[in-house]
Amino acid sequence: MADNDLVRSILIVGGGTAGWMSAAALVRALSSRCSITLVESDAIGTVGVGEATIPPIRLFNQMLGIDERDFLRETRGSYKLGIEFVNWGEAGHRYFHPFGPYGRAFDTVDLHQYWLRARAEGEAAPLCDHSMAWQLAKANRFCPPSPDPRNVLSTFDYAYHFDAGLYAAYLRRYAEARGVHRVEGQVAAVHRHGEDGFVAGVTLADGQRLDADLFIDCSGFRGLLIEGALETGYQDWSHWLPCDRAMAVPSENVGPLTPYTRSTAREAGWQWRIPLQHRTGNGYVYCSQFLSDDEAASRLLARLDGKALGEPRPLRFTTGRRNRFWNRNVVAIGLSSGFMEPLESTSIHLIQAGIAKLIALFPDRGFDPLVIEEYNRLAIAEYERIRDFLVLHYKLTRRDDAELWRYCAAMDIPDTLATKIEHFRRYGRLVAREADLFGPPSWLAVQIGQGNWPEATDPVAAYRDVDGRGWLARLRAAMTQTASVQPDHAAYIAGQVGLMPATGGA
């Protein structure tokens, strides 16, 4: 490729998690041969939430060459082994969505088929007892997974909880040290080329003009370029995911530092609990049709574990996605591209996935439609598969004690999801789709956790001559015993980062 065909300048609009993740990854991938500028406005600020992640975040940090201990110290982070769901299937019921598989495959037939058979024969052990992530989580313990596949500690995965503001600041230092140029200012106007409608540049409130070849819209819900300038359009998914508001408030840590997120279903939505080293993040995600903002705030405050460290902060959103994630020479990354509620902590992952796709399909100055269409195809598929997984939680509720839950139990769902629910209900089979971020163990956790009990097991299991019950019992025993001798989560972090958490610990 001729040098003058290369994209020579990138302008990132927005300096939240999306902006600084994009800046860090792009400067790493493109080095100094492409000038990268990021403009952000202190007056506007960031959304300021987003503290729970899923395991691929570790790959992102590794790709940047970030040391885990340094990262945990700088972001006051903790480890996350999965999500505990409380009151979702029905009031008083709990289940765990673990990171990683249930045990290790011991046959060509899935482990859970033997578990379903054992359960039909009166075996009472819960499914999650066969998950190493859960065995560690319920004992508030943590250690890194073993690289040895014969070790039961190789059968789990992990992610982090962290302070999103500190993470953005950390990545800012990283990006600026490698040449990203930061401009403080508010974008007041967006300029487009007359002939093709491509974005040419932006003018800031102080009159400064910033031009570039490629623009990354990380301006948050506003979607300053992708929507404000290019009017790309938005698909509203509120009929499937009706929550449209959140109240967020941090609280003091009390009790042990749990290595998992908790999601508790409430009357008009659900409440998150995210433990960090120095505080606990809390929020109530709710549907404004069924609960007022004042009620949401007071109920959240009444249900905190520890003392609130401020006033609840309201946030509004419309669940859905842009019609196109990449339009002309603008790529929307982060909240500007769409939003799905943080039930499975997928937003930061979608930022990471957007960046990875952009680097894999990096354009030249011709902005070939072939490249742009492929990016959009992949992004749409990924969004839709995550949407289905989130809707699964609502659809499978057996609660009928509040309007939101009655609405969700009765609502129509996407065909792609209906098929998965039906396969599981008939034979306990987990059918996968292209771009499914959440693999079979995740779907299994929620299907079983919320009571979609299969009518029959996979017929193939009946041909097998395997002592599944004995194998499951040995697996559980090995996991329980192994978990019991691992370090306490808080103590493990303290050893890693050289700090003691504010509260909790052994």
Assign 481 to helix, strand or coil.
helix
338 binds ligand FAD (CB under 6 A): no
Structure tokens at 201: 């540049």
133 binds ligand FAD (CB under 6 A): no
Assign 450 to helix, strand or coil.
coil
Q: Would you tell me how many other CB atoms lie within 10 Å of the CB of residue 208?
A: 12
Assign 99 to helix, strand or coil.
coil
Task: Candidates 51-59, 83-91, 371-379, 403-411: pick the segment binding ligand FAD (CB under 6 A).
Answer: 51-59
Task: Candidates 25-33, 73-81, 345-353, 474-482: pick the segment binding ligand FAD (CB under 6 A).
Answer: 345-353
Task: Candidates 36-44, 108-116, 120-128, 293-301: pick the segment binding ligand FAD (CB under 6 A).
Answer: 36-44
In angstroms, give the least distance from the CB of 155 to ligand FAD.
25
Among 11, 23, 34, 49, binds ligand FAD (CB under 6 A): 49
55-62, Cβ contacts within 8 angstroms, sequence gap of 24 or more: 55/99, 55/157, 55/158, 55/159, 56/349, 56/352, 56/353, 57/159, 57/160, 57/348, 57/349, 57/352, 58/158, 58/159, 58/160, 59/352, 60/21, 60/25, 60/352, 60/355
18 binds ligand FAD (CB under 6 A): yes
317 binds ligand FAD (CB under 6 A): yes
Q: Tell me whether residue 30 or residue 187 sits nearer to ligand FAD (CB atom).
A: 187
Task: Candidates 118-126, 212-220, 364-372, 489-497: pick the segment binding ligand FAD (CB under 6 A).
Answer: 212-220
Q: Tell me whether residue 14 or residue 275 sits nearer to ligand FAD (CB atom).
A: 14
Query: Is 80 labeled as catalytic in the residue annotation?
Result: yes
Q: Tell me whether residue 72 or residue 164 sits nearer to ligand FAD (CB atom).
A: 164
226 binds ligand FAD (CB under 6 A): no
183 binds ligand FAD (CB under 6 A): no
Among 17, 75, 327, 329, binds ligand FAD (CB under 6 A): 17
Q: Who contacts 8 (Cβ-Cβ below 8 Å, separation ≥6)?
A: 34, 35, 213
Instruction: Report angle CA 343, 480, 132 to the nearest 5 degrees.
Output: 35
Closest Cα to residue 51, out of 283, 303, 379? Answer: 283
113 binds ligand FAD (CB under 6 A): no
Closest Cα to residue 215, out of 205, 201, 196, 204? Answer: 201
Q: Known catalytic residues?
A: 80
Q: Which residues bind ligand FAD (CB under 6 A)?
A: 13-19, 39-41, 44-47, 49-53, 164, 186-187, 218-220, 222, 224, 246, 248, 283, 315, 317, 334-336, 342, 345, 347-348
